[in-house]
Amino acid sequence: MKVLIVGGTGMIGGHAADFLAERGHSITIAARKPPPPTVPMAAYPVLLGDYTQGTFTEADLASFDAVLFAAGNDIRHLQKNTDEQEFWDRTQIEGVPRFVALAKRAGVRRVVQLGSYYHQVMPHLIAENAYVRARHLADEGARALATPDFNVSTLNPPSIVGVIPGVPAKRYETLTAWAKGRRPEIPDYAPTGGTNYMSVRSLCEAIWGALQHAESGTAYLIGDANLSFRDFFQMIFDAAGSSRRLEERDQEHPLLPDAFIVPGRGKVLAYEPDPAETALLGYTRGDVQRAVNEVVALVDAA
């Protein structure tokens, strides 16, 4: 299968490229600029373009059997002094369905869109949070284009754990440095609340499962481990060989600002994926600790 990965230079897209290539598929990555020659994604052909600007054409997509859309922007990409509504319209609400419609006109047979879990787990946030509303509308708009002959599905994953060798991972670099005692200015606590976490390897398994077995027009809520923020941070400390024990405090944390906790500090976004859907997609659960150990080792080696 010829697969185009939009957002293929990102952490998730890069892992998906290797995962699918290892299973015999021909991979091209789509991005705004070529990856540096020092990163694994440099091994793949690159289709340059920007879906938010509508620069891809039907001819660009016509040779592909499937598209993995892994380029959706989130709250980390929203810059100060940006018109928030215009940003979400361009990158999510209008941009994602417009690209999926282009793939349909080009004759692509399957599209897997990577969304986000908030609107499926906490639908009340759709009316309260502009980002969640944008993800919801992008998901709905893309799947509205599905037909029996044009298979469109959405995977809505939680917080993903993973890094790519050679690609900066500032969050995990800082977390690991803190755990190893190199950031003494950061107090040893985590904010109250928690969420679901999933390894990038498990996500790649779900992507492969969706490309093979997803029901057209379906959104799948996927995930792995429900953890408090304290427990997740402690996993990193343990993987780094630290004997320090973190406490939980109801206050903002410098490495997990309140602005990045979409449901609000103190809230626990926990759920169990549907067992039948997990089996259909064929992804592994119970993989978060291994992923944390791998991330800390890679970051420390770098």
- What's the CATH number where 54 sits? 3.40.50.720
Task: Indicate whether 122 and 147 sit together in one domain.
Answer: yes
Is there a domain that residue 207 lies in? yes
Task: Indicate whether 205 and 219 sit together in one domain.
Answer: yes
pLDDT band for position 211 (cuts 50, 70, 90): very high
Task: Indicate whether 105 and 214 sit together in one domain.
Answer: yes
pLDDT tens figures, 57-105: 999 999 999 999 999 776 666 667 677 889 889 999 999 999 999 999 9
Range of the domain at 181: 170-194+227-271+288-301
Q: What is the pLDDT of residue 85?
A: 87
Task: Indicate whether 17 and 34 sit together in one domain.
Answer: yes
Count of Cβ atoms closer than 10 Å to residue 166 Cβ: 16
Mean pLDDT of 274-289: 98
For 81-90, 102-111, 142-151, 249-258, which range has the lowest pLDDT when averaged over its residues?
81-90
Task: Indicate whether 6 and 96 sit together in one domain.
Answer: yes
Task: Indicate whether 78 and 97 sit together in one domain.
Answer: yes
Task: Indicate whether 11 and 157 sit together in one domain.
Answer: yes
Is there a domain that residue 247 lies in? yes
Is there a domain that residue 283 lies in? no
Q: What is the pLDDT of residue 84?
A: 82
Contacts for 145 with CB less than 8 Å, ≥ 6 apart? 97, 100, 101, 104, 152
Tokens of 243: 């004997």
Mean pLDDT of 105-127: 97
Task: Indicate whether 232 and 99 sit together in one domain.
Answer: no
Q: How many residues does the chain have?
A: 302
Q: What is the pLDDT of residue 166?
A: 82
Res 221 pLDDT > 90? yes
Task: Indicate whether 297 and 175 sit together in one domain.
Answer: yes
Task: Indicate whether 176 and 151 sit together in one domain.
Answer: no
The span from the CA of 225 to the CA of 232, in Å, is 10
- Amino acid found at 148: P
Q: What is the pLDDT of residue 78?
A: 62
Is there a domain that residue 118 lies in? yes
Question: Mean pLDDT for the chain?
Answer: 95
> What domain count does the chain have?
2
Count of Cβ atoms closer than 10 Å to residue 98 Cβ: 16
Res 291 pLDDT > 90? yes
Task: Indicate whether 118 and 180 sit together in one domain.
Answer: no
Is there a domain that residue 188 lies in? yes
Q: Estimate to the nearest angstrom the gap between the alpha carbon of 215 and the chain centroid.
A: 21
